[in-house]
Amino acid sequence: MNYYLTEEQQMIKELAAKIADEKIKPVALKYDEEGTFPHDIVKILADSDLFGVYIGEEYGGFGGGIFEMALVVEELSRACGGISLAFAASGLGAFPIILYGTEEHKQKYLPDIASGAKLAAFGLTEANAGSDAAGIQTTAVLDGDEYVLNGTKQWITNGGEAEIYTVIACTNRAKGARGFSAFIVEKGTPGFSFGKKENKMGIRASVTSELVFEDCRIPKENLLSREGMGFIVAMKTLDRTRPGVAAQALGIAQGAFDEALKYSGERVQFNKPISSFQAIQHMLADMAIQIEAARCLVYQTCRLVDSGEKSISKESAMSKVFASDTAMKVTIDAVQVMGGYGYMKEYPVEKMMRDAKITQIYEGTNQIQRNVIALELIKGLKTKK
């Protein structure tokens, strides 16, 4: 399918694909087994200037948007959905600054994120606040010229490896969703430490940690937007980054499909390659249809987001649901096409199946996405009356 990428977008996609094939594929299984963070690959991505594709030129970036970010995530995820996450999660951490940062915030933090010198991360989730994002308990209390943060964030991607954190905390419990605020917190700030590092089913090359705030004092200038805007900062950020999760899912699905297709031409049973059997052909055809349909939705959603259109929640959620459900289905089928070999760790598809699962869960479960979509549809009904 020709997606009419611009010359720059094609160049970005090809560069990310080259890194994925030459640098990530050979080490993906090793990082998965060890569950360690891929510092060497992050350096390669930084040296290739990929971290800046979605950041403005005035801050040292390439000047692209969500689409450029998604193209990189998709290509890297073809090789490893865990390694790609160091890149994608830095985007999730950076977007609150891109969207709501003052000029000073942007000048101070974005150039280092764009160069890959520093990773970013996003701290919203807590032990008792997953889908119910408004249930967070972490507090921020203004004391003179500083906010004092207390609480623990859970399952934070890039936690411990990132230098720059955007964190949502409660500044006024009585105000409900309007009682949260967003802050920038730098690694190394006294009172800010990292707790448990998680041992995960998939995306094992990605680091997931607790962020612990104990009387952590940050300058009041680190407030993003205004007090009370934290929930909106989080929601608007997620509206823009969920297509990135969709792109990760798309890449994982494409990677699994490529392996299954190749294998089907090589594996001989009953004196024929298994690709000559209709049972396999139909599975491959269905996988290809779903992947292409997901790509259409993801790319078009990215273009919609980058157009500046304000109402994007529904499309963003749709792209995440469709691409992540596709990734789950396609990776399961890829294992099936490859049979016993697909189930073994010598082949990459069992890992892809494990990696795919998280895309249906994080940045809002697919059940929450369906709620968002349904609410937008019903809102549409009311406005028509």
d(CA 148, CA 343) in angstroms, rounded, equals 50
70 vs 148, beta carbon nearer ligand COS? 70
d(CA 323, CA 313) in angstroms, rounded, equals 16
**Least distance (Å) from ligand COS to the CB of residue 69?**
16
d(CA 52, CA 91) in angstroms, rounded, equals 9
207 vs 256, beta carbon nearer ligand COS? 207
d(CA 147, CA 214) in angstroms, rounded, equals 12
d(CA 248, CA 32) in angstroms, rounded, equals 16
Report if residue 209 touches ligand COS, rule: CB under 6 A. no
172 vs 275, beta carbon nearer ligand COS? 172
Report if residue 374 touches ligand COS, rule: CB under 6 A. no
Query: Can you name the residues that pair with 166 across neighbouring β-strands?
Result: 122, 184
Report if residue 95 touches ligand COS, rule: CB under 6 A. no
- By CB under 6 A, how many residues form the interface with ligand COS? 20
132 vs 215, beta carbon nearer ligand COS? 132
Using CB under 6 A, pick the residue from 11, 142, 177, 268 that binds ligand COS: 177
Report if residue 66 touches ligand COS, rule: CB under 6 A. no
Report if residue 119 touches ligand COS, rule: CB under 6 A. no
Site for ligand COS in 225-244 (CB under 6 A): 231-232, 235-236, 238-239
Phi, psi of 215 (to 5 degrees): 45, 50
Report if residue 368 touches ligand COS, rule: CB under 6 A. yes
**Least distance (Å) from ligand COS to the CB of residue 96?**
11
- Residue 8 annotated among the catalytic residues of the structure: no
Using CB under 6 A, pick the residue from 32, 74, 355, 363 that binds ligand COS: 363
Q: Which amino acid is present at 383? A: T
**Least distance (Å) from ligand COS to the CB of residue 222?**
20
210 vs 350, beta carbon nearer ligand COS? 210
Beta carbons of 217 and 191 less than 8 angstroms apart: yes
The active-site residue out of 58, 68, 363, 376 is: 363
Reduced to 3 states (helix: H, G, I; strand: E, B; else coil), residue 197 is: strand
The answer for residues whose C-beta is within 8 angstroms of residue 136's C-beta and 6 or more apart is 124, 126, 129, 151, 168, 169, 170, 180
d(CA 72, CA 87) in angstroms, rounded, equals 9
Q: CB nearest ligand COS: which residue?
A: 364
Site for ligand COS in 333-362 (CB under 6 A): 362
Beta carbons of 249 and 356 less than 8 angstroms apart: yes
Q: Which amino acid is present at 252? A: I
**Least distance (Å) from ligand COS to the CB of residue 218?**
21
**Least distance (Å) from ligand COS to the CB of residue 374?**
11
Reference 159, options 195, 135, 126, 127; nearest CA is 195
Report if residue 124 touches ligand COS, rule: CB under 6 A. yes
CA-based end-to-end distance of the chain: 40
Report if residue 16 touches ligand COS, rule: CB under 6 A. no
Place of tokens 């396999």: 280
DSSP secondary-structure letter at 187?
Answer: T
Report if residue 180 touches ligand COS, rule: CB under 6 A. no
**Least distance (Å) from ligand COS to the CB of residue 172?**
13
Report if residue 210 touches ligand COS, rule: CB under 6 A. no
Tokens at 205, concatenated: 């090359």
Tokens at 334, concatenated: 């890829």
- Catalytic positions are 363
Binding site for ligand COS (CB under 6 A): 124-125, 131-134, 177-178, 231-232, 235-236, 238-239, 313, 362-364, 368, 372
